[in-house]
Chain A
Amino acid sequence: MYSSRKVGLPIVALLLAAGGGRAGAAEPGSFGYGTAATPAQIAGWDIDVRGEDGAGLPPGKGTVDRGADVYAEQCAACHGTFGEGEGRFPKLVGGVGSLRDERPEPTVGSYWPFAPTLWDYINRAMPMPAPHTLSADDVYALTAYILNLNELVPSEFVADRNSLPKVKMRNRDAFIWTDPRPDTGAKPCMQACVNGADVKVSSTAEDRNLTPRTTGPLDTMQPK
């Protein structure tokens, strides 16, 4: 999944090395600290959902219509009535076909690769001022509504643990999950590396008026 440059020794070698350095360390439970987590305790925190196949999605369901109501109440103030984003809050809709543009707009519709990730994120982090207050059904409904705003599902779509993993997201196949770096091959030249005539300032931050002050009280500057 990732390049071998990034990781250390194989797991087996590490386990053996650790075991050799400290008596019994590789034996589970050798310290004996803490308490065994019960299934009920685990269930309370076990909220994660896997994007690729929706593993972890709970029972429940929600319609696009119900989602529109929950959205108006819980989300529209920041994300805009139709997902257009108020101020600098994230847009949820649009940008389809923009990813190669000078100003790309990555949104649920144009960028997100997996629909279950949307359920997971709403459930774990939204709404920002009152996270973890929505029911599973309402999270399904919001997911259905936002997918519908992006024309990824029809208005009669019902989101549940079976339907969400099947939603084909537009950008799903555009991700490369293997880090191709290093992708530059600079050599550390020391003398006469560039022709002096070619050394030109192409861009300067002077007079751009974007930089907050770095002395005195905190700056409150807003965009020009």
Chain B
Amino acid sequence: MRPNPLRSKAVLSDPAGADVPVGRRSFLRLGAVLTGGLALGGNSAIAEPSQESPPADAPWSQSIGAGVVDRPYGRPADTEASVIRRNVPWLTATAESSVSFSPLQDLHGIITPNGLFFERHHAGRPDIDPAQHKLLIHGLVERPLLLTMKDILRFPQTTRIHFIECPANGGMNWRAAQMNSLQFSHGMVSCAEWTGVKLSTLLEETGIKKEAKWAMVEGADGAHMNRSLPLDKCLDDCLVVYAQNGEALRPEQGYPLRLVVPGWEGNVNIKWLRRIKLGEKPWHSREETSKYTDLMPDGTSRGFTWLMDAKSVVTFPCPEKPLDGAGLYEIRGLAWTGNGKVTRVDVSVDGGINWQTARLHEPVLSKALTKFTLPWRWDGRPALVASRVVDESGYVQPTIAELRKQRGSNSVYHNNSIQTWQVKSDGTVFNVQLA
């Protein structure tokens, strides 16, 4: 972009620590806001006029705004700077093999914006040159094939909306309520519109030998992260995608190519996909033996627990979004299931004694986040707010007590239990578990 000679080169430090150049006019506007006693990065930069003052023209109404391509790509309003992916610094040894959480408390729909989609890397985020990236399909196929990104883009396109959830989402709450936050208790789920080619189309193009029963899928990252998948699932609904919400995948989501395995645990949705090999048996890679297996109280472990069972959570109110006095509210939340579609969500405000069925908002899509709401007149007394999803297979979201009865509390993965938020009479909200 050409520099605008009408603008000075003032530089401000934004709340995330990056220096951002600002024009003189916006600098003055910021100054006006700041002297009004409001900090950048708060929920509102709009100064509340006193009740006596007449409606006034706000400063931004008395000037001309920035022109087009002022921000050629675009970015959220500066006052939304707190709405970012966040990590738990004490959780992992390094940031390269770690996870970040989506700010569900500030999201209002079923689609996660690309910059807010949760991250999970095993060897950091590679920055890949798409001109050099290739996908190799070999093993028990008729014609081993090497595909460039150009080749892959020529295949017939498919677009679908699906959630991806890390099976460790909620893992920190297996033993007890630990994370007092919606973002950190549930933020390892996100949902996007994915565009690419059906994996079945690619495998039909190579031809599948009749002995083939499994596929090994592998990434181009430093860990060459790999998993085994049953061939039936590959041919059923898996996608090899290059686009997310209409634009190229973000590097942290697998640019230029990733696998989407609808409804199955996030780890098998291999990012930076470079290789698919068909075989007769599973590989039992480190990520499906040492990790992503569920340790039971009797010392046995469950492997190949790919399915993400039905789960729901109330996103308002939540610890980050308390209530502001008694009155009428809309309880809001998200539900999803690896079994297909959400058929019903019930909400309780008394700790599960009584339940009311919430309204599901269209679109209700298979293996996608589904939004629900329920009006609630809060009387200002302590409440225990929870949601419970039922999916099209008839599966009912369990309580944490029911899960622990079956699996103890050391299984790390697949905690899809009902989340209870404790609302205190001052409107503050806490993550609790019930006896």
Contact = CB atoms under 8 A, between A and B. Distances in A.
A and B together in one complex: yes
Interface residues on A, range: 35 or more
B19 interface: no
B179 A78 contact: no
Contacts of A37: 136-138, 144-146
A217 B16 contact: yes
A59 B8 CA distance: 66
Contact of A25 (B201, B351, B390): B201
A187 B354 CA distance: 13
Interface stretch (A62-70, A119-127, A136-144, A154-162): A119-127
Contacts of B403: 184
Contacts, number: 324
A202 interface: yes
A99 B295 contact: yes
Nearest to A118: B286
B154 interface: yes
B184 A36 contact: no
Given A125-B123, A214-B181, A223-B90, A8 B237 contact: yes
B33 interface: no
Nearest to B393: A5
A89 B94 CA distance: 8
B133 interface: no
A42 interface: yes
Contact of A175 (B289, B350, B414): B289
A146 B16 CA distance: 43
Given A190-B346, A219-B86, A87 B93 contact: yes
Interface in B276-315: 277, 279, 281-286, 289-290, 293, 295, 297-307, 309
Contact of B154 (A26, A33, A187, A205): A33
B285 to A, nearest CB: 7
Interface residues on B, range: 35 or more
Nearest to A111: B290
Nearest to B14: A217
Contacts of A193: 352-355
A212 B84 CA distance: 13
A1 B233 CA distance: 13
Contacts of A184: 396, 398, 402-403, 406
Contact of A211 (B184, B224, B293, B422): B184
Contacts of B289: 51, 112-114, 117, 175
Interface stretch (B50-58, B203-211, B322-330): B203-211
Nearest to A114: B284
B376 interface: no
A180 B97 CA distance: 30
Nearest to B282: A1
Nearest to A173: B300
B218 interface: yes
A135 interface: no
A211 B320 CA distance: 11
A125 B222 contact: yes
Interface in B192-221: 200-201, 204-208, 216, 218
Contacts of B299: 99-100, 174
Contact of B304 (A31, A177, A187, A203): A177
B77 to A, nearest CB: 15
B93 A78 contact: yes
Contact of A51 (B88, B141, B284): B284
Given A29-B207, A132-B222, 10 more contacts: A14-B235, A28-B205, A37-B144, A45-B274, A106-B295, A113-B284, A125-B122, A179-B306, A201-B435, A214-B82
21 contacts: A1-B230, A8-B237, A34-B145, A34-B148, A34-B205, A36-B144, A37-B146, A42-B136, A42-B144, A46-B138, A120-B285, A125-B224, A175-B289, A183-B406, A188-B346, A190-B355, A190-B356, A205-B430, A206-B432, A214-B181, A215-B320
Interface of B: 15-17, 41, 82, 84, 86-90, 92-94, 96-97, 103, 105, 122-123, 136-138, 141-148, 151-152, 154-156, 172, 176-181, 183-184, 200-201, 204-208, 216, 218, 222-226, 230-233, 235-237, 274-275, 277, 279, 281-286, 289-290, 293, 295, 297-307, 309, 319-320, 344, 346, 350-357, 384, 388, 390, 393, 395-399, 402-403, 406-407, 410, 414, 422, 430-435
